Amino acid sequence: MGETADMTRCTIRGGRSVIVLLCMGLSVAGGHGQTIVRDIREARDLVEVVRLDSTIHLDIRYATANNFMGRPMYSGPRAFLQHPAAMALVRIHQALKKVGYGVLLFDGYRPWAVTKKFWDETPPQKRKFVASPSKGSKHNRGCAVDLSLYDLNTGREVEMPSPYDEFSDRAASNYQGGTAEQRRTRALLRTAMVAEGFSIEPSEWWHFDYRDWARYPILDVPFESLSTVRH
């Protein structure tokens, strides 16, 4: 983004958009008194999940054109989480392996600038599926994860009642359609996640929020700046 450590924060104030002058430029935002943090030092507790367990599979759709935006939104196929959330995910993965499944990770930490692009380019009638940049997303805090399961025997993604990132009623976590097997694997994933402190997102079976999300700031640090964070 071309910003230095001196250009670290912009404040989102209530009611209407404001322009905040920073050390090296302008930032525009609107909303609920949130602060967007661009200082790499504030991302020091983010960890790259596969460095903790390389048997967790990645399918980072936002690093490809295979997503609802139709173009890559990330610079590379990487997934980061705050350290406690990442450790909980590793425990979930290890527990699921005992019953023949593994974690398939679609997304973790998401820079705020990407959340804003999602909002700006999503039709209003579909915006219940994307976070408002005025509030920030738990993905921006490194405490939300999008995931599914893969079969340990085949290495293939299991079937759920809807594909990932499908903006439809089938994506709801309590959708009663689909096959019995699809509902069973969805329930297996949900039970494992809740047991380790993640909460369910009602409109998206794949999305879970870690319990301590409020402790962390809304970050807008790009992936390419995260090579120095802890492993």
The verdict on residue 125 lying in a domain is: yes
The verdict on residue 19 lying in a domain is: no
The model's pLDDT over 126-166, given as tens digits with 9 standing for 90+, comes to 888 899 999 999 999 999 999 999 999 999 999 999 999 99
Q: If we measure between CA atoms, which residue out of 152, 139, 144, 147 comes closest to residue 189?
A: 147
- Rounded mean pLDDT of 214-221? 96
CATH of the domain at 152: 3.30.1380.10
The verdict on residue 9 lying in a domain is: no
pLDDT confidence of residue 165? 93
pLDDT confidence of residue 6? 34
Model-level pTM? 0.84
The model's pLDDT over 9-27, given as tens digits with 9 standing for 90+, comes to 444 443 333 323 233 323 4
Burial class (CB within 10 angstroms; exposed 0-12, middle 13-18, buried 19+) of 137: buried
Structural domain count of the chain: 1
111/99 Cα distance (integer angstroms): 34
The verdict on residue 39 lying in a domain is: no
Q: If we measure between CA atoms, which residue out of 160, 156, 136, 145 comes closest to residue 196?
A: 145
Q: Does pLDDT of 197 surpass 70?
A: yes
Give the domain range for residue 129.
46-215
The verdict on residue 226 lying in a domain is: no
| Better pLDDT: 128 or 116 | 116
